[in-house]
Structure 1
Amino acid sequence: MTPRLLTLLISAAAALLTATGVMAQPGRTAPSFEGWTVDCGNTGVCFSSSFTRSQSVWVDLRIVRDWQAEAQPLVRLTTNTPLPSEGTLRFELDGAAIEALPIEQLREMQPAVKTPAGFRPLGGEGFWYPTGPATTTLLEAMRTGRELTVHLPAAKDADPVAIPVPLQGVKASLLWLDNRQNRTGTVSAIVAPGADPATDAPHAIALMSADQLPPEVAAVWSANRLCSRIDPTIFTSLNAVRVPLAEDASLYIIPCGAPTAYNSPYVAVLSGKDGAARQVQVARMSEKGPVATDLIYNAKWVPADQQLISYFKGSGVGECGLWNRWVWNGTGLVLLEEATRTTCDGTAPDLSNWSSTWPPQKAPN
């Protein structure tokens, strides 16, 4: 990227921000509604989750929905406690039993549930809830209830465990999912369905292998910083995507080499309608002004906004480092926001308090 082009991209971002009075942007951290956290993956699969701990046992209850128009919501339960081969997983809503699922049958039905591409399950033992009407009934009950209690069957000589999951905020979180996937008012909405037909949500296509890259894209990728020297199994786990663009073009967000302890580097490659491919560089700020770079760390693509986020962690905790957000403008990625924290002190990460290095801050009066 030439210095002139880089300057033009920075100027365009500044003009865009000025015209909107610092345009509204998604937060630096995932939204939360009274304990229910919402987010979307690089492909456009979205979820609402609640993590609840009771002493040494925790459960993560997650409502997951893929981007396809016909995709139905799925419910997944994950726990850190080993479950026996026999026994029953029970659910109660405000003290009333709503479902009892034999563990053996639950395990047998798991292969029948198609896991959305790009969904990364938590560590521990996880189960998909029975799909279809059973999931619909559970979600309807959760939207109107106060507390869902999950009764985990106990291993031999151990006591059963009951984990109460508060439901305040679950309805708001599901409405966020509907809105984020453009489902509100359609026949596929969870909270407020309407008569409009369902359409595909904003999305990108998961890349599970470097073999899915077109030859021109693979050539650009292989020529850059030894990008192609990455184990195929590691590539599969790093959420690479192809972003469909106008006029049959595509933007590829691809891992570049093996991850380090805290960070995974990526590159962006643009493939035009004629098949030609080129690497897309991005702007970052330095003490003397904008600079161009080709690496994006821990890349997160936001399909609904056509934005790309980089989060370079200065430690394993992630309380220090560098955070960037760019938006696709049709030809390149324009820097919208950058923030940094240089103090690595082991505190819980709070990116909302990081110092902004872009856009320029107004001087105090």
Structure 2
Amino acid sequence: MKPRLLTLLISASAAFLTAVGAMAQPGRTVPSFDSWTVDCGNTGVCFASSFTRSQSVWVDLRIVRDWHAEAQPLVRLTTNTELPKEGTLKFEVDGKAIEALPIEQLREMQSAVNPPAGFRPLGGEGFWYPTGPATLTLLEAMRSGAELTIRLPAANGADPVGVPVPLQGLKASLLWLDNRQERTGTVSAIVAPGTEPAKDAPHAVALMSADQLPPEVAAVWSANRLCSEIDPTIFASLNAVRVPLAEGASLYIIPCGAPTAYNSPYVSVLSGKDGAARQVHVARMSEKGPIATDLIYNAKWIPADQQLVSYFKGSGVGECGLWNRWVWNGTGLVLLEEATRTTCDGTEPDLSNWSSTWPPKNASN
């Protein structure tokens, strides 16, 4: 790496640290409200989810919303049990029947639902709930209730399996979604609608194929670390995005080669308004001070904050490794925070307790 580039990266990090110190920053772990967890994908699609297990059966219930102004909330149900060809899937809130859906009809309607670009369903058998007024009716009942019971039909005429989903925390989760997508106070808000018109949420554009890269960006990508040697089907599953920037520029966050067992490497490429492209390097810390690198692991783009997160896992569990967060400042990615854990002991990952290596402990905000 050229000394001048490294100097610029270090200077930018130091100069920006004071300015961002007072900003509300995303945490190292995703927020949760009681039994509900919230998060957003690289494109800006956001969701609230609750995972519930009843004996050997589990269900994952998600309220999913894309970034487009006109996007309506969707409900996605996934379970680990194989449902029979016939039977009825039932939804009840506090013992009151909300919906009874014949499995056969539910399967037939799946092709009519357009999943948000970049949405990655969980493994298991998954269904989209009927969209439109049916979804809004279910959400309204859930927001005002204490417990949702999902009754799954069983094979061979056995009794349905009832899985209770606690609803405490759901309203706060939906409000988080509204706020994160800047919908609160607009006609499209789920929890607190207002009179303001709906608008697109902060977002990035999903890249499902390397063919979507402009020639100048593709040339930079192909010339770097054999990045372009990746199976197209793998590329499509790695949440690559194009981030629209001011004056027609774009930041591309692109996979770099095939994933390893725990980690997927990425690079970032800036395309200016004139179409010219260059690779964007980032700063991270070493034992002797800041260094410049081009690889970002398991990249996560946060559209609402224009921040990029890297999470290098030292094991399959992810309880050790390196975590970085940068922010786009108009010309480059500035290091905001770095944390690490060197002990790989198989414990549950808790990045909030990892040792901070940046900013320095004696830095004042």
Q: What band does the TM-score fall into relative to the shorter chain? A: over 0.9
* Alpha-carbon distance between aligned partners in 2 of 1:19 and 1:39, rounded to the nearest angstrom: 26
Deviation at residue 120 of structure 1 after TM alignment: 0.3
1:17 CA displacement? 3.2
Cα separation, 2, equivalents of 1:355 and 1:159: 51
Structure 2 distance, partners of 1:338, 1:21, is 14
Q: Distance in 1 between matches of 2:77 and 2:157?
A: 24
SS in 1 for 2:140: helix
Instruction: Measure, in 1, the Cα distance between the counterparts of 2:260 and 2:339.
Output: 22
Q: Within 5 Å, which residues of 2 pair with 1:1-365?
A: 2-19=2-19, 21=21, 23-156=23-156, 158-362=158-362
**Displacement after TM superposition at 1:35 (Å):** 1.1
Query: What CA deviation, in whole Å up to 9, does each residue of 1:5-45 have, x standing for no partner?
Result: 43343344334333465543110010000011000000000
Partners of 1:252 and 1:268 within 8 A in 2: yes
Q: How big is each residue's C-alpha offset from its partner over 1:303-327, in whole Å with a ceiling of 9 and x where there is no partner?
A: 0000000000000000000000000
The answer as to whether partners of 2:9 and 2:292 remain within 8 angstroms in 1 is no
What is the identity, as a one-letter code, of the residue corresponding to 1:154?
A: A
Instruction: Determine if contact 1:269/1:277 at 8 Å carries over to the other structure.
Output: yes
CA distance in 2 between counterparts of 1:87 and 1:105 reads 10
Amino acid across the alignment from 1:24: A
Off by >4 Å, runs of 4+ in structure 1:
19-22
Contact 2:249 2:270 in 1 (8 A): yes
How many Å apart are 1:3 and its aligned residue?
3.1
**Which runs of 5 or more residues in structure 2 are unaligned?**
none
Determine the C-alpha separation between the residues in 2 that align with 1:70 and 1:172.
22
Q: Give deviations 1:104-161, integer Å, cap 9, x for gaps.
A: 0000000000000010000000000000000011111111100000000001154421
Range with bigger deviation, 305-314 or 16-25: 16-25
Inter-CA distance 69–149: structure 2 relative to 1 (3 Å threshold): same
Note if contact 1:17-1:23 (Cα within 8 Å) is conserved in structure 2.
no
- 2 CA distance for matches of 1:122 and 1:106? 18
Q: 1: distance between equivalents of 2:72 and 2:7?
A: 45
* Counterpart Cα distance in 1 of 2:80 and 2:172: 27
Secondary structure of the 1:156 match is helix
Name the aligned partner's letter for residue 297 of structure 1. Y
Task: Give secondary structure in 1 for the equivalent of 2:200.
Answer: coil
The whole-number CA distance in structure 2 between the counterparts of 1:201 and 1:18 is: 28
Aligned length: 364
Amino acid paired to 2:88: T
Q: Please report the TM-score for the alignment, with normalisation by the length of structure 2.
A: 0.97
Deviations 1:172-217 (A, max 9, x none): 0000000000000000000000000011000000000000000010
Which is worse superposed, 228-237 or 22-31? 22-31
Say if 2:320 and 2:343, in contact at 8 Å, map to a contact too.
yes
- Does structure 1 retain, via aligned residues, the 8 Å contact 2:68–2:199? yes
1:316 counterpart SS class:
coil
Distance 2:233 2:21 in 1: 45
SS at match of 2:81: coil
CA distance in 2, matches of 1:355, 1:250: 33
Would you say the 8 A contact 1:7–1:290 is kept in 2? no
User: Residue 58 of structure 1 aligns to a residue in which SS?
Assistant: strand
TM-score, with structure 1 as normaliser: 0.97
Note the residue ranges of structure 1 that are not aligned, 5 or more in a row: none
Of all paired residues, the percent bearing the same amino acid is 88
> What do residues 295-350 of structure 1 show as CA deviations (whole Å, max 9, x unaligned)?
10000000000000000000000000000000001111000000000000000000
Tell me the amino acid that sits aligned with residue 89 of structure 2.
Answer: L
Q: Which amino acid is 2:226 matched to?
A: L
Q: CA RMSD in A?
A: 1.4
In structure 2, how many angstroms separate the alpha carbons of the residues matched to 1:6 and 1:196? 45
Q: 1:96 to 1:157 in 2, by over 3 A?
A: closer
In the aligned structure 1, how far is the partner of 2:10 from the partner of 2:337? 11
Partners of 1:44 and 1:201 within 8 A in 2: yes
